Amino acid sequence: MKASTPDSEDATQTAPTGSLGMAMARLFGLLASPEMQKWRLRMVVALALTIVAKLFAVAAPVYFGNGINLITERGEGVSVADAGSLFVVAFLAYAGARFLSVGMPQLRDAMFAPVSQDAQRLTQVRTFGHVQRLSLSYHQTKRTGALNRIIDRGARAVDFLMRFLVFNIAPTLFELVLAAGVLSLNYGWEFAAIAVVTVITYMGLTWTVTEWRVKIRRKMNDADNEANARAVDSLINFETVKAFAAERRETDLYDNALQRYAGAAVRSQSSLALLNGAQAFIMNAGLLAMALTAGWKAWNGVLQPGDVAAVTLILMNIYQPLNILGWAYREIKQGAVDMERLFDTLAIKPDVDDKPGAPDMALTGGAVRFDAVSFAHEGRERSVDAVSLDVPAGSFVGLCGPSGAGKSTMLKLLFRFYDPAGGAVSIDGQDLRDVTQESLRSALGLVPQDVVLFNDTLRANVLYGRPEASEDEILQALDRAQLGRFVRDLPDGLDTKVGERGLKLSGGEKQRVGVARAILKEPAVLVLDEATSALDSQTEKEVQAALTEAARGRTTIAVAHRLSTIANADRIVVMKDGGIAETGMHNALLELGGIYAEMWARQSEAGEVSDPSSSLQQSAQ
């Protein structure tokens, strides 16, 4: 089964276009969300400061030109005193307007900083929460390193697009329109035409070259994603890497990804140099055309010398923000791509979802029922086929059978990691599809074959099942899991760090932490998924005693490789080829002489089974 849209790390294959219009719509949608309502006033003030700053940016060169004109008017009917005072006023106005055109954006950035940070936080939290809710099929195919980069880049794109697209590029276009009007009204339509043609040519060149450069940047990011994902996979699984003497191989694969990145980075830097050179040529050509036209008009007495300076400064002011357009457009385009990938991830629908208005599960004992359940994993003809099984409340049922028989699939259906293709799974008469997943899984406790621990303290890992539990409840759970003395003897006690995936603990200690977590959770139904199969016989006995405590008084379903652990179950279910082949109690199955008897005989010869009296259920009794 697959998610309804491509997985996030397949985004490179779908080649998102990074539509700026769509990016802006998503950005404004985010800013207009109820969570951002508290920042509305700051948003309005920030936009107003940006617009006013552009008004001063266009006015400043006009004041400067007027000041020069006043200097040149000395002796032309204007007294020295009047000209002197007026040109001082003009230059003061220029300085004030110039300062406000630069200072207001700084004030705007300071005011808008909390808005930007909150928007990034909201984006990351939304995406992280959505990914957490996606189905098991999604998480089985994703690459954690690549997904983490997509979330991180998407959130940073929100900040970048706001700062450069909303507060830089768009206001610059407003400034161009405003400047064109001032040039046309004050100095002649030719100057407005030169400014508009120059800027359009500049932007057209930038857009064309940058579109080419975005493709190179995409290759860089793909190689960066691959290198990061490769590094994360290798570092997480370092034991396997060392066990297979694959350090050099992993390093070479990492190097290959970085070489692809380096090659794309070289092409990107070379093309940037080309773009910068072409932009400089267009910019100076426009300034030359503006200066020559203004000079010619001044020569013919149409304009004054100060007007030449004014029109040149106006065009230079427009160029200043456009000077980074090549870089900014590339980053804006890439930001749009990053945002598109993030929203593509948000658009993925979980295969397993709660029904609208689904109620929480109401527990009355924890009776489990599989009613003609069928399911097939992707790429398989069948995993389980029309399986029916009743597990009465408070009973202990063992599942066994050869590999691939469907045992683990039954557990995944019970946890509703998948929905059955046919039939139904229920607890206390409630179809699991009719209740919330959170309430369902709150009623289930799991001790897997390989207990996965977070890189945190023992306390945090045990509390994961019930975060609100008290210190005394934690210690009681550890005592019942046969781990209390071990923890009390540690220098840091419950504050001891367990390391990445619990690697600072032995296999038996990890299992008992998992058991303590299940005990503390107090689930209605306890699921044991080959919880002792990877342990040595002595450690198995210790963990088995802990499991006895965990199973006491609650419905228990145990998938077992070592048959002695389920030999005294109320009922043993033997599965084969996705169906139930045999069912009954231990002695009856041995007398039957079927699959279970053959498995027991093989394990007895190999010394893998012990007397049934030591099994989980016998101990519990």
In a domain? residue 434: no
The pLDDT confidence band at residue 614, using thresholds 50, 70 and 90, is: very low
Looking at residue 293, its amino acid is: T
In a domain? residue 267: yes
3-state SS string over 323-338?
CCHHHHHHHHHHHHHH
For residue range 367-409, what is the model confidence (pLDDT) as tens digits?
Answer: 999 999 999 877 566 788 899 999 999 999 999 988 888 888 9
For residue range 115-148, what is the model confidence (pLDDT) as tens digits?
Answer: 988 988 888 888 888 888 777 777 766 666 667 7
Starting at the edge strand that comes first in sequence, how are the strands of the sheet with 422-427 ordered? 384-391, 368-375, 422-427, 430-431
Q: Are 435 and 361 in contact (CB under 8 A)?
A: yes
Crossing angle of helices 144-160/20-31, nearest 10°? 80
- Rounded to an integer, what distance in angstroms lies between the CA atom of residue 383 and that of residue 503? 33
For residue range 573-613, what is the model confidence (pLDDT) as tens digits?
Answer: 999 988 999 999 999 999 999 999 999 999 888 776 665 54
If 0-12 CB within 10 Å is exposed, 13-18 middle and 19+ buried, where does residue 535 land?
Answer: buried
Residue 397 β-bridge partners: 557, 571
Q: What is the mean pLDDT of residues 216-231?
A: 78
- The radius of gyration of the chain from alpha carbons, rounded to an integer in Å, stands at 36
State residue 585's pLDDT score. Answer: 93
If 0-12 CB within 10 Å is exposed, 13-18 middle and 19+ buried, where does residue 564 land?
Answer: buried
- The yes-or-no verdict on residue 2 having pLDDT over 50 is no
Q: What is the mean pLDDT of residues 229-249?
A: 82
Q: Are 322 and 202 in contact (CB under 8 A)?
A: yes
Cα distances (angstroms) measured from residue 584 to each of 305, 426, 588, 617: 106, 22, 6, 15
3-class DSSP assignment, residue 554: coil
Q: Are 542 and 483 in contact (CB under 8 A)?
A: no
State residue 5's pLDDT score. Answer: 38
- Rounded to an integer, what distance in angstroms lies between the CA atom of residue 165 and that of residue 153? 17
- The yes-or-no verdict on residue 7 having pLDDT over 50 is no
The torsion defined by the Cα of 330, 283, 166 and 310, in degrees rounded to 10, comes to 170
Count of structural domains within the chain: 1
Looking at residue 166, its amino acid is: V
Q: Which one-letter DSSP state was computed for residue 492?
A: T
Q: What is the mean pLDDT of residues 331-347?
A: 81
Both tokens of 9, joined, read: 């790390």
Q: Are 38 and 114 in contact (CB under 8 A)?
A: no
- Rounded to an integer, what distance in angstroms lies between the CA atom of residue 581 and that of residue 247? 45
467 or 163: which leads in pLDDT = 467
Q: Parallel, antiparallel, or unpaired for β 555-559 and 430-431?
A: unpaired
The number of angstroms, rounded, from the C-alpha of 451 to the middle of its chain's C-alpha atoms is: 25
Whole-model pTM: value is 0.67
3-class DSSP assignment, residue 490: coil
The pLDDT confidence band at residue 256, using thresholds 50, 70 and 90, is: confident
Q: How many CB atoms lie within 10 A of CB 352?
A: 18
Cα distances (angstroms) measured from residue 539 to each of 488, 510, 531, 535, 543: 19, 11, 12, 6, 6
The pLDDT confidence band at residue 95, using thresholds 50, 70 and 90, is: very high
State residue 340's pLDDT score. Answer: 83
- The yes-or-no verdict on residue 327 having pLDDT over 90 is no
Q: Which one-letter DSSP state was computed for residue 454?
A: -
Kindly state the helix (H) or strand (E) to which residue 415 belongs, with its residue range. none
Crossing angle of helices 40-72/170-186, nearest 10°? 30
In a domain? residue 184: yes
The torsion defined by the Cα of 2, 6, 7 and 12, in degrees rounded to 10, comes to 150
In a domain? residue 270: yes
Which residues have CB under 8 Å from 475's CB, separation 6+? 484, 487
Q: How many CB atoms lie within 10 A of CB 25?
A: 11
3-state SS string over 7-64?
CHHHHHHHCCCCCHHHHHHHHHHHHCCHHHHHHHHHHHHHHHHHHHHHHHHHHHHHHH
Q: How many CB atoms lie within 10 A of CB 484?
A: 17
Looking at residue 347, its amino acid is: A
Q: What is the mean pLDDT of residues 93-106?
A: 90
Both tokens of 313, joined, read: 């400064």
- The yes-or-no verdict on residue 472 having pLDDT over 50 is yes
Both tokens of 29, joined, read: 């949608």
For residue range 57-83, what is the model confidence (pLDDT) as tens digits?
Answer: 888 898 888 888 877 766 555 555 565
For residue range 25-38, what is the model confidence (pLDDT) as tens digits?
Answer: 888 888 888 888 89
State residue 583's pLDDT score. Answer: 94
Best CA proximity match to 603, nearest among 570, 571, 563: 563
- The yes-or-no verdict on residue 293 having pLDDT over 60 is yes
In a domain? residue 63: yes
In a domain? residue 363: no
Both tokens of 111, joined, read: 């005011």
Structural domain for 100, as ranges: 17-347
Cα distances (angstroms) measured from residue 542 to each of 218, 404, 546: 54, 29, 7
State residue 74's pLDDT score. Answer: 63
State residue 360's pLDDT score. Answer: 94
Query: Phi/psi zone of residue 607: left (φ > 0), alpha (ψ -120 to 50 degrees), beta?
Result: left
Both tokens of 417, joined, read: 């990691």
CATH number at residue 297: 1.20.1560.10
Question: Could you give the residue ranges of the DSSP H alpha helices within 134-188?
Answer: 136-141, 144-160, 170-186
Which residues have CB under 8 Å from 202's CB, separation 6+? 279, 282, 283, 286, 319, 322, 325
Both tokens of 219, joined, read: 């290759």
Q: Are 552 and 468 in contact (CB under 8 A)?
A: no
In a domain? residue 487: no
Query: Phi/psi zone of residue 191: left (φ > 0), alpha (ψ -120 to 50 degrees), beta?
Result: alpha
3-class DSSP assignment, residue 163: helix
- Rounded to an integer, what distance in angstroms lies between the CA atom of residue 465 and that of residue 442? 8
In a domain? residue 51: yes
